[in-house]
A and B are shown apart, each in its own frame.
Chain A
Amino acid sequence: MGSLSWRQFKAILRKDIVMELRTREMLTSMGLYAILTMVVYQIALVEAGEGLDVRLVMPGLIWVAFIFMSMLGLNRSFVHEKDQGCLDALLLAPIDRPVIFLAKFAGNLLFLLVVEALTLPVFAFLFLQGRAGFGGPLWMVALVLVGASIGISGIGTLLATISVNTTGKDIMLAVLFVPLQYPLLRAAVGATFAAVIGGPDATASFWNWMGWIAGFDIIMVLAAFGLYEFVIEA
Chain B
Amino acid sequence: MKRGYLAEVMLVLGAVLTTAAFLMTFFWAPPSVYPDGRVDFAQKIFYFHVPVAEASFLVFFFTAFYGVRFLMTKRKEFDVKARIATEVTLFFVLLTMATGILWTRVEWNVWWQWEPRLTTYFIMTLLVIGYFVLRNSVEDEERRATYAAAFGILAFIDAPISFFITRVVQSTHPVVFKSGGLEPPMLVTFIVGQIGMLMLGYAFYQLRLKEEELKERLEALKIGLGG
Contacts and interface: CB of A to CB of B under 8 A. Distances in A.
A219 B150 contact: no
With a 10 A CB-CB cut-off, give which of A172, A176, A216, A231 has the most chain B CB atoms: A176
Interface residues of A, number: 31
B209 to A, nearest CB: 24
A202 interface: no
Interface stretch (B51-59, B80-88, B141-149, B210-218): B141-149
B104 interface: no
A190 B147 CA distance: 32
A230 interface: yes
A27 to B, nearest CB: 28
13 contacts: A165-B138, A166-B134, A166-B147, A167-B139, A175-B133, A179-B127, A179-B130, A183-B162, A187-B165, A223-B153, A230-B146, A234-B142, A234-B147
A94 to B, nearest CB: 22
A227 B154 contact: yes
A123 interface: no
Nearest to B149: A230
Contacts of B143: 165, 234
Contacts of A158: 150, 154
Contacts, number: 84
A208 B151 CA distance: 28
A196 interface: no
B134 A180 contact: no
For the complex of A and B, list the 9 residue pairs with the smallest distance between their C-beta atoms, beginning with the closest: A234-B146, A179-B126, A166-B137, A227-B150, A234-B143, A167-B137, A183-B161, A183-B165, A175-B130
Interface residues of B, number: 29
Main secondary structure of the interface of A (DSSP, over half): helix
- Central interface residue in A155, A159, A230, A231, by most chain B CB within 10 Å: A230
B134 A186 contact: no
Residue of A155, A159, A208 with most partner-chain B CB within 10 A: A159
Interface string B155-167: 1011001100110
B168 interface: yes
A168 interface: yes
B15 interface: no
A168 B130 CA distance: 12
A111 B87 CA distance: 38
Interface string A188-223: 001000000000000000001000100110011001
Given A182-B162, A227-B154, A234-B142, 8 more contacts: A168-B137, A175-B129, A179-B126, A179-B158, A183-B165, A212-B168, A230-B146, A234-B146
A176 B134 contact: yes
Contacts of B101: none
Contacts of B137: 166-168, 172
Contacts of A155: 154
B130 A231 contact: no
B123 interface: yes
A75 to B, nearest CB: 15
